[in-house]
């Protein structure tokens, strides 16, 4: 049993913010896994899917988008994980990363929060031993501009690249469920680089 968490802020005002790429990734993964409709539970939106569907022993997957606002995400994640008895090593969190360029992605188990309020909250409620999928959004170049930047919407060219990234993340997500993080990163990187050579510069 797995819990896949996408981080973001609730409401249409934030829907296409850079800070919400975790929500957007969770939506793509849910479609890829043919997850059921989203419903409200655990202070979040939750959907249920299975992978692969053709096997009798299919892996059950819960997808969660906390609706607590970013800095309280751990309340929702902790409640859901405790209810379904999902250990941290089977939790995968998708979120935005300022220190990676758009078109770049890294997967890491445990580690620091990197100043990300959502990750800091999850660490406080769940400990650090979960999988982190950091999706690059780039940095505005000045710390004073970060809040405005992450709460801003993607530009047109930027969004076209991120859409390819999100599609690749969803398409190759089963590799993460199979505990093959290096394979997942390689497949995503190759696909995004082939589609958009400029993103690898």
CA 23 to mean position of chain CA atoms: 7
| pTM (2 d.p.) | 0.92
In whole angstroms, what is the distance from residue 37 CA to residue 195 CA? Answer: 31
- Do residues 9 and 69 make contact, with C-beta atoms less than 8 angstroms apart? yes
Q: Per the CATH hierarchy, to which homologous superfamily does domain 2-200 belong? A: Peptidyl-tRNA hydrolase (3.40.50.1470)
Active site residue 116: no
Each residue's pLDDT, cut to its tens digit, for the chain (201 residues) gives 999 999 999 999 999 999 999 999 999 999 998 898 999 999 999 999 887 655 656 688 999 999 999 999 999 999 999 999 999 999 999 999 999 999 999 999 988 888 899 999 999 999 999 999 999 999 999 999 999 999 999 999 899 999 999 999 999 999 999 999 999 999 999 999 755 544 444
* 118 Cβ contact partners less than 8 Å away, ≥ 6 residues apart: 7, 22, 66, 70, 71, 73, 74, 93, 95
pLDDT of residue 111: 87
pLDDT at 194: 58
pLDDT digits 0-9 by tens, 64-82: 999 999 999 999 999 999 9
Side-chain half-sphere CA neighbours of 121 within 13 A: 21
Identified catalytic residue from 16, 19, 116, 172: 19
Rounded-to-integer distance, Cα 72 and Cα 125, Å: 10
């Amino acid at each position: 049993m797995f819990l896949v968490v996408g981080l973001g802020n609730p409401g249409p005002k934030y829907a296409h913010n850079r800070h919400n790429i975790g929500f957007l990734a969770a939506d793509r993964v849910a479609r890829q896994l043919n997850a059921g409709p989203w419903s409200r539970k655990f202070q979040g939106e939750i959907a249920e899917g299975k992978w692969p569907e053709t096997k009798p022993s299919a892996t059950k997957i819960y997808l969660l988008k906390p609706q607590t606002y970013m800095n309280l995400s751990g309340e929702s994640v902790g409640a859901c994980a405790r209810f379904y008895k999902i250990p941290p090593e089977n939790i995968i969190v998708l979120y935005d990363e300022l220190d990676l360029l758009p078109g770049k992605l890294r997967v890491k188990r445990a580690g620091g929060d990197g100043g990300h309020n959502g990750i800091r909250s999850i660490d406080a409620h769940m400990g650090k031993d979960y999988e982190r999928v950091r999706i690059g959004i780039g940095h505005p170049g000045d710390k004073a501009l970060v809040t405005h930047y992450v709460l801003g919407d993607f530009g047109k060219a930027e969004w076209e690249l991120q859409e390819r990234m999100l599609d690749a993340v969803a398409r190759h997500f089963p590799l993460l469920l199979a505990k093959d993080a290096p394979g997942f990163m390689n497949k995503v990187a190759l696909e995004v680089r082939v589609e958009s050579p400029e993103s690898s510069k």
